[in-house]
Structure formats: C-alpha cells, structure tokens
Amino acid sequence: MTEAPRAGAPSGAPARSPSFRRELARKAIHLSSTAVPVALAFGIERRIALFVLGALALIALAVEAVRIASPSIAARFEMLFRPLLRPHESTSVTGATWLIGAMFAAVLLLPRDGAIISSWAAAAGDTAAALIGMRFGRIRSLRDGKSLEGSAACLVVTAGGALLLTRAGVAIALLAALAATAAERFPWPRDDNVRIITAVGVVVMIAVAL
C-alpha cells in the first residue's frame, strides 16, 4: 500500500495520527484475512476453504455489481465506508473484493504451501509494509513515497510466516518474501493484493519445481 507522508509533514517524517489511525482501521480488517493461511496451515480441508472464500467472493461481487447499477446505493456505500476506502475505490472495485478473489484463486490453483505463503504475504506482509512504513518510514522513494522500512517489514513478516506455517525451507521462504516485497512496491496492476499473491505463488511453484 502507498505510504506517502501526510500532507504538510516534513519529508521523511513518520505519518501522524489521523492518517495512521485510518490505515490502522483499514488494515485491522485486512489482517483478519490471515485466517485463511492459518486455517490451511492447521489442516482445514481445501474444499472448505474454497467454499467459504467462494461464498465471500460471490457476496463481494454482488455488492460491486449493485454499486455499478445504482448510483444512489454507490453513494451510500461510499458514505458508509469512506474512512476505509482508497480514493480510486470509490469508482472501482475495492481492495477487499480483489483480496478475496485472489485468495480464492490461490487456494484453487496452488499447492497448499503456495496458497499459504501467498495469502499470508498479502494479508500480513502487506499490512506490515503499510503500517511500519507509515509509522516509522524515513527512507522514502521519491516516486511513490513508499519506504525502505516498510519493505523490510514486508520481507521479514512474509519470510517468518512462510517458515512458521509451512514446511518450506529457508531458501523458498526468502524467495517468496523477496517476491512479495518487490510486488508490494510495483505500481501495476493497481491492486497490490493481486500483485503479491500472483508473484509469490509463481515464485513458490518455480522454486518447488526446481
């Protein structure tokens, strides 16, 4: 997620309370999706995970369809969830919908360890990047405002989760963490949940196959 400093703050200063509290609330919801990799790690059947994620994805898509079809409902939705929405999400698919869809695809298409690591990276690694970057980030990119501290947090949290939740070795955990960190910083596609899950999933599959 973008970690640009608060407007009016000195360059390189940590984000101050209003924007940080808003991001904290958004990421608290985002962090709840760690239930997916943790449940998979503790042995939940894939079909159960697919059923739950599929149902959530259908609900999310229905909400998105209603938003498109009805400007009045779209306006009410934006008013209700404005503190949690990025500016572009007011007129496009929300990050929550992308996250649910990407996790469903990961569980459906990837081996269990790949699904665990990629979904953990999107849920926990990305959260760490945003919160640590906003609160403690000082070394920032001039291009997008993202910080070195945030990237380091993404790397550590993703690698740690891979080692704790799967049987992946240190090499695969580090490769997955590097992929997640690089994807979190790339600007395209716009939704970083899709970027991270795709990048980590591909890297883990290649690493396991070698």
147 has which bridge partners? 140
Q: Which are the contacts of 39, defined by CB distance < 8 A and separation ≥ 6?
A: 49
Distance CA 126, CA 119 (A): 10
Residues of the chain with pLDDT under 50: 1-16
Q: Is residue 84 part of a domain?
A: yes
The per-residue pLDDT for 40 is 97
Any idea what the Cα angle at residue 80 is, between residues 30 and 102, rounded to 5°? 30
pLDDT digits (tens, 9 = 90+) for 9-49: 444 444 445 577 777 777 788 899 999 999 999 999 999 99
Question: What letter represents residue 115's amino acid?
Answer: A
112 has which bridge partners? none
Q: Is residue 12 part of a domain?
A: no
The per-residue pLDDT for 189 is 67
The per-residue pLDDT for 137 is 73
Q: Which of 198, 124, 208 is nearest to 171 (CA)?
A: 208
Q: DSSP 3-state assignment of 168?
A: coil
Q: Which are the contacts of 75, defined by CB distance < 8 A and separation ≥ 6?
A: none
Q: Is residue 4 part of a domain?
A: no
Q: 152 lies in which domain range?
A: 17-209
pLDDT digits (tens, 9 = 90+) for 15-26: 445 577 777 777
Q: Is residue 56 part of a domain?
A: yes
Q: At what angle do helices 148-165 and 126-136 cross, to 10 degrees?
A: 150
Question: What letter represents residue 88's amino acid?
Answer: H
Q: Is residue 156 part of a domain?
A: yes
The per-residue pLDDT for 11 is 43
Q: Is residue 200 part of a domain?
A: yes
Residue ranges of alpha helices (H) inside 32-147 are 35-41, 46-69, 71-81, 95-109, 112-120, 126-136
Distance CA 115, CA 74 (A): 33
Q: How many domains does the chain have?
A: 1
Contact in structure between 160 and 179 (CB atoms under 8 Å): no
Q: What are phi and psi of 111, to 5 degrees?
A: -60, 160
Q: How many helices (H) and strands (E) in the chain?
A: 10, 0
Q: Is residue 11 part of a domain?
A: no
Question: What letter represents residue 17's amino acid?
Answer: S
